[in-house]
Amino acid sequence: MKFPAGARFALLSFLCVMALAVSMGFAISSLLTRSVEEWEWENTAALARREVERAGLDTLLTAPRSVVTSERNQREFARLLQGMPEVVRVKVWSRYATVLWSSEPRLIGQQFPDNPQLRAALAGKVSVEMNADERGSFSYLAEVYVPIFSKTTGEVSGVIEVYKSPVRLLTTIQRGRLVVWTISLAGALTLYLVLLPLVRQIYGRHIREEALRAHNARLEAQVAARTQQLQAQREALFQAEKVAAMGQLLAGVAHELNNPLSAVVGYTQLIRMRTDSGPIAEQLDRVAQSAERCTRIVTNFLSHARQHPPERQRVLPNPLAESAVELLAYPFRIDNVEVTCLLGADVPPIWADPHQLQQVLVNLLTNAHHAMRGATRPRRVVLTTRYEPATDRVVLAVADNGPGVPANLKARIFEPFFTTKSPGQGTGLGLSLCRSIVEAHGGALRLEATPGGGATFVAELPLGAPPAALEEAPTVEPLRLTAGKTILVVDDEADVATLLAEALALDGHHVDTVSNGTAALERLGTHTYDLIFSDMKMPGMNGAELYRRVAQRLPGVERRMIIVTGDTMNVTTRRFLEETGAASLSKPFGVDEIRRRVLAHLTSIGADASDAAVPLRS
């Protein structure tokens, strides 16, 4: 049962005041009792000495025994009972602890040297002993031992033992105690009633102040937490803006690289097709391999820089891991980080989003790289892929030999906005994003300790299953060549336009080239073309605008257009391609890609291609 705070305080205050009153009452009553008793015994001693002196009995205490036992002196001793009120018995002791006279004749002449009160009295101190009345006349008798001093020598000449009834004394003490306790309790109650409103007011104010301080502390803590969260979000937004700006920069650089890279890849293939085996052919193969590597790097840059809508497909983990390592090869190499790929030979494909999984691997590899920046020993990162038949899962693991993650931080390492990096070097979103991506694929991401020191992040992914409509893989038909088509190439890059023209002419097509959209519209006004290759980004009229102009002025001819772009992951480009359904050819491209695109597009437009070939209306 719980009481309100006010009731608890009132009860506690009452108990405290009562405890104080009881303590004071006990102390005062004890002091009063002791004072009254001391006064009573001193008064009794003074009365006994006065009676002894009045009767002249002080000289008999030191007289010979024959004098003391005389009948006259015995009567004088007996008169002591008459001169002292409340006294029921009297003994007269000599200084040698011998009973000279007693109201009990049987005790006269006996010695009691072991009586402690008697010894104290013989030493000059009034001594008192309370005993029960053996005869039953009184409940208690006070035995008061009064030392009698000699007038000539000042020494103790004897002791008068008085048996006194303490009824009046005890009654007085009880009355005094009653008065003391009544005053104490009444005063305490009065004090409680007087002080309670004031103390409750002060206590209430204190409680309100405490509550206000606690509320302020909670508000300050919430403000501090919100401020820290906003600061982290602001930092994350700033980092996101930097990443977005970096993505735009990478996209621009990749687009600019794709044009000359298309020429390198295409012309290398054209020259290789015209070259027999020999040293030159081997050199051309090496150039083609390097160009292919450059193509993969540019593609990885674009893939990492652009945001993708989730799209799942069959993904081979080993090539995905190799592409992630290849993307970070340069920073690993300049920081002397040795990267080892332990790729399982029997790792099956998984149904996943390749761009998201690549982002997971890139983030984990980057974290491992950053964790080893302060390490002096050889820096090693191991990327492992394997298949676990027991769980039917593919495991991707990134291990480093850095300092590892402290035990007190392991529980928070995946929290959003939590980072151990210095301000400005991390947003605290990388591992949280990685875990979200892995869990969205039905997997799990965990942290393990690396034997010998370091950290290992392990991602377990289920194989997954594609939708029923996609379970059957499309049949890859052998490439069939087409010839004798009339094709227009629109590109501001002369090298790319020439490459397209030569590659198409190699298959027997008739090719015209123009360098901008305006010239293309003019040419379409006077010529009929089976296909139109148009670059997406051109000065003046770009590929999208050319497509719309053709659709407006010559409906149906826009279906023959193939958009050539170096960045199909660009948001504007993707939206345009999705809205129009236009075909596209990604840079850099080789001769086989051109042939496949020509065949596929001619097949898709079918017989309608010739029907739509009418001059452009002005």
Q: Look up residue 544 and give its two tokens.
A: 């999208």
Among 3.30.450.40, 1.10.10.10, 2.40.50.140, 3.40.50.2300, what is the CATH number of 486-611? 3.40.50.2300
CB 133 within 8 A of CB 141: yes
Q: Cα separation of 103 and 406, whole Å?
A: 97
Rounded to 5 degrees, what are φ and ψ at 460?
A: -105, 125
Q: Name which residue leads in pLDDT, 192 or 575.
A: 575
User: With the C-alpha atoms ordered 520, 524, 527, 533, is the resulting torsion angle positive or negative?
Assistant: positive
- What secondary structure does DSSP assign to 14-33, as a single string? HHHHHHHHHHHHHHHHHHHH
Nearby residues of 169 by Cβ (< 8 Å), 6 or more positions away: 36, 37, 40, 142
Its CATH architecture, for the domain 5-165, is 2-Layer Sandwich (3.30)
- Continuous H helices in 56-114: 65-68, 71-78, 80-83
What is the phi-psi region of residue 361: left when phi exceeds 0, alpha when psi lies from -120 to 50, beta otherwise? alpha
For residues 452 and 268, the answer to whether their CB atoms sit within 8 Å is no
Q: What angle do CA 37, 41, 44 make, to 5 degrees?
A: 140
For residue 614, name the pLDDT band (cuts at 50, 70, 90).
Answer: very low
Give residue-wise pLDDT tens across range 51-95: 777 777 766 676 666 555 556 666 666 666 666 777 788 888 888
The highest-level CATH class for domain 312-465 is alpha beta
Q: Cα–Cα distances in Å, from 463 out to 308, 314, 344, 437?
A: 22, 9, 15, 15
Render pLDDT for 508-533 as a digit per residue (tens, 0 to 9): 899 999 999 999 999 998 889 999 99
Query: pLDDT for 280-295, tens place per residue?
Result: 888 888 887 777 767 7
Question: Exposure of 19 by Cβ count < 10 A (0-12 exposed, 13-18 middle, 19+ buried)?
Answer: exposed
For the chain, domain boundaries: 5-165, 312-465, 486-611
CA angle 355, 360, 361 (to 5 degrees): 100
pLDDT bracket for residue 617 (50, 70, 90): very low
Bridge partners of 342, per DSSP, are 384
CB 57 within 8 Å of CB 77: yes
- Taking the mean position of all CA atoms in its chain, how far away is CA 500? 60
Query: What confidence score (pLDDT) does residue 64 get?
Result: 67
What's the longest Cα–Cα distance across the chain? Answer: 178
Residue 367: what pLDDT? 84
Residues 143/161, Cβ–Cβ less than 8 Å: yes
What gap in Å lies between CA 566 and CA 255, rounded to an integer?
A: 5
pLDDT in tens, 7-19: 666 777 778 878 8
Burial of 533 (0-12, 13-18, 19+ CB in 10 A): buried
* DSSP secondary structure letters along 474-533: PP-PPP----S-EEEEE-S-HHHHHHHHHHHHHTT-EEEEESSHHHHHHHHTT---SEEE
Among 158, 89, 154, 81, residue whose Cα is nearest residue 118 = 158
582 exposure class (CB count in 10 Å sphere: 0-12, 13-18, 19+): buried
* Per-chain mean pLDDT for the chain: 79
The per-residue pLDDT for 306 is 54
Mean pLDDT to the nearest integer, 455-481: 68
Question: How confident is the model over 123-147, as a mean pLDDT?
Answer: 76
Q: How far is Cα 380 from Cα 244, in angstroms, rounded to an integer?
A: 30
Each residue's pLDDT tens digit, 246-275: 666 666 676 677 778 777 877 787 787 777
pLDDT tens sequence across 491-508: 988 888 888 888 888 888
What's the pLDDT score for residue 473?
Answer: 47
| pLDDT of the residue at 607 | 39
**Cα 445 from Cα 432, distance rounded (Å):** 10
Q: Once rounded to an integer, what is the mean pLDDT over residues 175-184?
A: 84
Q: Read off the pLDDT band of 545 (50, 70, 90).
A: very high
Span 204-217, pLDDT tens digits: 787 888 888 998 99
**What pLDDT, on a 0 to 100 scale, did the predictor assign at position 96?**
84
Contact (Cβ atoms closer than 8 angstroms) between residue 372 and residue 402:
yes
Q: For 287-329, how does the pLDDT look when each residue is reduced to its tens digit (9 = 90+)?
A: 877 777 677 666 656 655 555 556 788 889 999 899 888 888 8
Q: Which residue has the higher pLDDT, 590 or 8?
A: 590
